[in-house]
Every structure is written in C-alpha cells, then in structure tokens.
Amino acid sequence: DFLFFWGAVFLVTTTLVAFFKKENEELIPAKEETKGITDTYRLLFSIIKMPAVLTFCLLILTSKVGFSAADAVTGLKLVEEGVPKEHLALLAVPMVPLQIILPLVISKYTAGPQPLNTFYKAMPYRLLLGLEFAFLVWWAPKVKHEGGFPVYYYAVVVLSYALHQITLYSMYVAIMAFNAKVSDPLIGGTYMTLLNTVSNLGGNWPSTVALWLVDPLTVKECAGAQGHTCATTAAAEV
C-alpha cells in the first residue's frame, strides 16, 4: 500500500509537470560543448583524465570504507540479536524531520570557499560512531529480557542514529557543495553528474563488500560436535 500510494503520487506529479510546465523560450541558453551522446562521453573521459579530478575520485571512492560495516551491517545484526524489525522501522520516524532540517543547517557551513572542511571535520566523529554501533550490537543480548528490550536501550539507539545522521549529512552536503563549486558552468550538468556518480559509487561499493564479508569474518562455534568446524555455510547447517 505504501509503495502503491507513492508510486501513484510520483506518476501524477510527473504527468502534471510534463503537460503543464513550459520551457522559457525567450531566454537563449548558454552554448554547451556537448552535442550528442558521443560528445558527452568523450567530454566525460577528458574530465576524468585531469590530475585533480583523478585525485578527487580516488579520495571519494575510498573515503567511506571505514563506515561501510557500521552503515550496512548494524541494523541486520541488531535484528539478529533479537531487536524486532518493526521497532527498528519505527525508530526511523524521528529521523525524518532531522533529515529535512540538517541540510538546511549544514549548508550554511558549506557555502564558503572551502566546503570540504566540513567533510574532514565530520569524518573522525563518524568513525567513532561506528565503534558505538558495534557496542550497541554487543550490548543488545546483555539487556534483553523476556518482554523484549528496555526503553533506555531504544533511547540510546535513537540518540546514536541521530548523531550518525548529523555526521552523514555533514559529509554528504559538503561533497554536494564541493561538486557544485568546482563544476564548469558551461558543462555544469555533465560535470556534476560525473562527480555525484563517483560519490554514490564511493558509498555503495564498500557497503556491498562489507555485507559480503560478514559470513567469512563471523566466528562460529559448534556446540556438542567436537572435531568439527562451522567455518563454511554447509558445515554450519550440518
């Protein structure tokens, strides 16, 4: 029902824009260097070859490796430790107003000549929150009782997620501001799309690798089966 409702809203609003939004033909658009798909990709390739862009891409593709496990695995491990999925989903509700307000607040600090300063300052705090997430997973079975989890545990989880959102959005908005600042206005759309795509890849591939590494890095013990190992999935099932 949720997906159906928002899918309908998306279709209706997009259709209304298509029919009723008209281009302003009086304004003469600035001449762009791109004329077609081939020219666009040729231009993108020439941008990527620039030394400064290569360095930036390397930075942005590897900068989120330290957060990947905390971001991708914490929720799954909390569910594994017994935290109900519906409770975790409800904890996301208080994050919505925070996610709306944060970009507005953070944009004031990223509007200057050095927007990446905010990115660098937020990084150590986000790394420390990764350690706290590990503590939350370790703490979960210690405080669990027959009725579930105490209220103070959920309060700590909400506070931790709120602090995590602050660091996450500080880095996200800073990168977006930097991409907008350095993009050549003549080819702004193409330039920004390239940099934002690299930014998205930099956040997605470490999370994928972290999820893939969960099983190999998880320590398993066989209870009542001496001389047998549980290192592989097949062995664990046996």
Residue 229 lies in a domain: no
- Rounded to the nearest 10 degrees, how much is the dihedral formed by the CA atoms of 140, 141, 147, 152? -30
Asked if residue 227 has pLDDT above 60, the reply is: yes
Residue showing tokens 């491990």: 77
Residue 8 lies in a domain: no
**Residue 69 near residue 210, CB atoms below 8 Å:** yes
Residue 103 lies in a domain: yes
Report, as an integer, the average pLDDT of 169-180.
91
Tens digit of each residue's pLDDT (9 = 90 or more) over 136-145: 999 999 998 8
**Residue 47 near residue 191, CB atoms below 8 Å:** yes
Tens digit of each residue's pLDDT (9 = 90 or more) over 90-138: 888 888 898 899 988 998 888 888 889 999 999 999 999 999 999 999 9
Residue 216 lies in a domain: no
The band of 74, judged by pLDDT with boundaries at 50, 70 and 90, is very high
Residue 109 lies in a domain: yes
Residue 119 lies in a domain: yes
Q: State the chain's maximal CA–CA distance in angstroms.
A: 82
Residue 177 lies in a domain: yes
Query: Which region among 19-28, 148-157, 170-179 has the lowest average model confidence (pLDDT)?
Result: 19-28
Residue 64 lies in a domain: yes
Domain that holds residue 155: 47-211
Residue showing tokens 């309908």: 8
**Residue 170 near residue 121, CB atoms below 8 Å:** yes
The band of 34, judged by pLDDT with boundaries at 50, 70 and 90, is low
Domain count, the chain: 1
Asked if residue 183 has pLDDT above 80, the reply is: yes
